[in-house]
Amino acid sequence: MKADPVRRERLVEVFLTAPGFVWLLLFFLLPTFNVLLISFRPSTLTGGIGEGWTLDTLQQLRNPDYPGILFRTLWVSLAITVSCLLLSVPVAYFLARCSQRWKTRLLLLIMIPFLTNFIIRVFAWKVILHPEGWLASVLAFAGLIPPGTQLLYNVRAVILVSVYTYLPFALLPVYAVAEKFDFALMEAAMDLGCNRIQAFFRVFVPGISRGLWTATLLVLIPNLGAYVVPDIVGGHSSSMLGNVIVRRLFSDRNLPHAAGLSSVLTVLVLLPMIVVILHRRRREAH
């Protein structure tokens, strides 16, 4: 009657992972599947979900405007991600080389804005980018823009404000890896003939690649589904997929159509994750 130790270990494993698995199943997998199902239901003009099944939504998703919006969603999200990474690598390098005292202080400075509500931080940009605000005045004085130019409500404003709000999400994982990086490796590279810049790009950057991938996921994925920032500082020609989903839902009362677009978004979000997972697998296999 002695319990098989291997089987026992399995059982413990199942019990330990069960709560998380059930949670994901109930609150993530099933709702996502439900959204996918709704996109194959007919819509009613009164905002309900009709009986039976249809491919109407699939047909409607071939709307000639959608490729443009999809493309904008992709390139804006990528631009935000790349900008965040470009900013966080030098900052993380600097932070990692700081003395412990300064590290704490500077990290605190990065975290403090987080204590302010997200919406308020976004609204603050409306003051900074006001067409008669100080920034516009300085730019107009320098002759870069005509006076009274609207700096808000375009794609550039969306990218700028998104980079600002998502920078800590990129900086912290990059810093976490950079802090563990062995800087003696850079000295070794320089001993072997690299100059400082070469050492930075050929030793430091590959050394923190794990942090870069995490940062990419943390910034890219939420921005693919962004709604709030393009809604507040974006204009009439910078709506992203998230904004279109909201419009289909609220203004058109077309639930299946919104569900169809959401399913497209889900696929879009899964793709970068799959890429990163495959990349990690391949690296671990090496």
**Residue whose structure tokens are 């671990």:** 284
213: tokens are 């991938």
Q: Any contact of residue 47 with other proteins (CB under 8 A)?
A: yes
Q: Which is nearer to other proteins, 124 or 190 (CB)?
A: 124
Give the one residue of 48, 67, 90, 147 binding other proteins; rule: CB under 8 A.
Answer: 48
Q: Any contact of residue 249 with other proteins (CB under 8 A)?
A: yes
Q: Any contact of residue 38 with other proteins (CB under 8 A)?
A: no
Q: Which is nearer to other proteins, 131 or 225 (CB)?
A: 131
Q: Any contact of residue 198 with other proteins (CB under 8 A)?
A: no
Give the one residue of 126, 140, 205, 266 binding other proteins; rule: CB under 8 A.
Answer: 126
Q: Which stretch binds other proteins (CB under 8 A): 33-41, 172-180, 188-196, 236-244?
A: 236-244
**Residue whose structure tokens are 């296999």:** 285
Binding track, positions 139-168, relative to other proteins; x by CB under 8 A: ---------xxx-xx---------------
- What's the CA gap between 77 and 217, in Å, rounded? 11
- What's the CA gap between 53 and 237, in Å, rounded? 34
Beta bridge partners, 43, equal 49
Q: Which is nearer to other proteins, 239 or 262 (CB)?
A: 239
Q: Which stretch binds other proteins (CB under 8 A): 24-32, 81-89, 239-247, 275-283?
A: 239-247
Instruction: State how far Cα 54 lies from the chain centre.
Output: 33
278: tokens are 């495959």
Give yes or no for a contact between 174 and 207, defined as CB atoms under 8 angstroms apart: no
- Scored b (16 or more CB within 10 A) or e, 43-67 reads beeeeeeeeeeeebbeebeeeeeee
Give the one residue of 4, 51, 65, 191 binding other proteins; rule: CB under 8 A.
Answer: 65
Q: Which stretch binds other proteins (CB under 8 A): 10-18, 162-170, 211-219, 252-260?
A: 252-260
A 10 A CB-CB count for 155 gives 17
Q: Quick one: which of 157, 162, 257 has its CA closest to 219?
A: 162
Give the one residue of 67, 68, 90, 147 binding other proteins; rule: CB under 8 A.
Answer: 68
- What's the CA gap between 6 and 29, in Å, rounded? 30
Give the one residue of 2, 62, 236, 282 binding other proteins; rule: CB under 8 A.
Answer: 236
Q: Any contact of residue 131 with other proteins (CB under 8 A)?
A: yes
30: tokens are 């099933």
Q: Which residues of this protein are in contact with other proteins, per CB under 8 A?
A: 45-48, 65, 68-69, 126, 130-132, 148-150, 152-153, 234-237, 239, 244, 247, 249-254
